[in-house]
A and B are shown apart, each in its own frame.
Chain A
């Protein structure tokens, strides 16, 4: 088990380094190929050529790509210093550079917005796991029943309807129509109930989509597991049906659900763009959307790296849980 853990952890670190290098490479090579000068993009249209040169020198944009990657990499872990003549700026670790538009450091932008997205993703995940898995298990147990058919129709709707539709609909009904909820984002540090009120609709909307997928996968997996010989053995031992389902069948059903959860949660933490935009949540998704519109490369780069980190960490956790659930994995 310990060897397995160390192996996984090592793989995760290697993966992270590779991702940083590759992503940085892509983001700073592509503009070059496209004939866009990042320095000019930083300064803006109709810029003074001298200013462009100053920026190029200060940001090190004229340096060879390897030097740039190394500087960027160093900046994340040790901080870096931008200097052009007498103009010196120190950027403390973790340094992801500065926004082309606002000239703010990227890291505080990320740390400001990360909790919003994390709260959204985790809250929604709890909801969709509770409802999706429960609905899937019930559907599998009562296959062909009215409940099963009804649940699967709702699930199909959930998978098919886009967030901006269900999101706007829920806003229209519960916020503007019935006026039950004040759908305004309030930071958790300001007011717990305010935060809850602002998050409840985004949670439900996002959870609806994912619960639908989880219900379908749970139903399919559970049906497969219920046909397994060891479920028959469990019944042959005289175990009660709730133990057969809740213990023997559920443990096997959890593995594919966990795999999905790792990937979904990782991807969502990188920014739930549609949900955050629909509900005006100031999360990473909204930040990256604005950055794309403004061609603000450093922010896009920062969010991309955060997303990768989230996916890697989530998958690492899943791998560990996997080994806890399935003893055979520990050998692999």
Chain B
């Protein structure tokens, strides 16, 4: 483990060998592999990041880049209730407030779930149990972690529904999920996640299943609640607009690894990885001429069973031949510091990247 850990630690990474991290949440060399009939799917393959209380980290990437797998890994949901050979193999370290979760007793992690760390899911209609009332589900979430009677818990549920902006919460608490609109359901889901004042909130594509008009309201709500509760937030999305709205830091994932990480404004205005350029280029913007075409990332996401050798992005990268000696196809690039608290995993030199960004990419965006 330590061997893996050392070799996985990249140049300039804030990963040191001391097992007492100062950060509230620290993920070290996280690997989540799923054995399948076709081979091992390496959904997350060596991920490192830190997150402080009161800060928001946006994890961005396309489908299958390992975003959701990472969040479920932190919550311990890959192994909870899973039996048999198909169970995910997880290695690395996840430190939450001084406790390492992967080596901790599963029942201890269960007690942290919902209380210390909570999650908001993508589609609130399928994430809420259709047969139980909203109130019942919130009360249940509260009473797992608090030894209170049903009346007290119900009052708490009504209070939370009120806080997330559900009108007539004392009546709506007895409604079933199908009696709520999509936005209301997501509000209820948020109320349920926050009922125990968790210090870490993971929002996995919280607005993807919602109306555009409702999306902004939900994002505002998450931001307000974060200020109020001072929790650390991880927001997972493929929508850069969402991240721009909320995140302090951005982590861009590709093929199960981090390709670029840094403060939000740096990643947005001085991105240093061709994949990030592609993501920015494929985002529609109102301030761009309508005649301009979007610049898509060509090709499709890599197979996580058989990642391309060298840089996983090389088959889709327009600049794969810029570095010399075919190095992009043989050597996997590690994260390098490209500015203050800003890392990118690319073989191009700093000068090459800056030149391509300023001359070729930025003018088109």
Contact = CB atoms under 8 A, between A and B. Distances in A.
A248 B176 contact: no
B176 A144 contact: no
Nearest to A234: B129
Given A232-B121, A233-B128, A239-B140, A328 B176 contact: yes
Q: Looking at A144, A232, A233, A251, which has the most chain B CB atoms within 10 Å of its CB?
A: A233
B99 to A, nearest CB: 15
A237 B140 contact: yes
A34 B77 CA distance: 68
B269 interface: no
B84 A144 contact: yes
A141 B127 contact: no
A328 B141 contact: no
B113 interface: yes
Interface string A213-240: 0000000000000101111111111111
B122 to A, nearest CB: 8
Contacts of A112: none
Contact of A230 (B80, B83, B130): B130
Contact of A232 (B110, B114, B127, B141): B127
Contacts of B176: 327-328
Contacts of A239: 114, 140, 144
B129 A236 contact: no
B118 interface: yes
A229 B125 CA distance: 9
A145 interface: yes
A141 B84 CA distance: 9
Contacts of B84: 142-145
B80 A241 contact: yes
B75 interface: yes
Contacts of A145: 83-84
B363 interface: no
Nearest to A143: B84
Interface string A100-116: 00000000000000000
Interface in B197-225: none
Measured as residues with beta carbon below 8 angstroms from the partner, the interface class of chain B is 20 to 34
A311 interface: no
A326 B130 contact: yes
A237 B131 contact: no
B118 A236 contact: yes
B115 interface: yes
A29 interface: no
B192 interface: yes
B126 A230 contact: yes
A244 B115 contact: no
Contacts of A229: 121, 123, 126-127
A182 B92 CA distance: 65
A237 B127 contact: no
A249 to B, nearest CB: 9
B112 interface: yes
B150 interface: no
Contacts of A327: 130-131, 133, 176, 178
A236 B109 CA distance: 10
Interface in B152-205: 176, 178, 192
Given A144-B84, A144-B85, A327-B176, A230 B129 contact: yes
A232 B145 CA distance: 17
Interface of B: 72, 75, 77, 80-81, 83-86, 110-115, 118-119, 121, 123, 126-131, 133, 140-141, 144-145, 176, 178, 192
The 3 closest A-B pairs by CB, nearest first: A238-B114, A238-B113, A229-B126
11 contacts: A141-B83, A143-B84, A229-B127, A230-B130, A233-B128, A237-B192, A238-B111, A239-B144, A245-B81, A327-B130, A327-B133
Given A237-B113, A238-B112, 16 more contacts: A142-B84, A144-B86, A145-B84, A230-B129, A230-B130, A233-B121, A235-B81, A237-B118, A237-B140, A239-B140, A240-B110, A241-B81, A325-B131, A326-B130, A327-B176, A328-B130
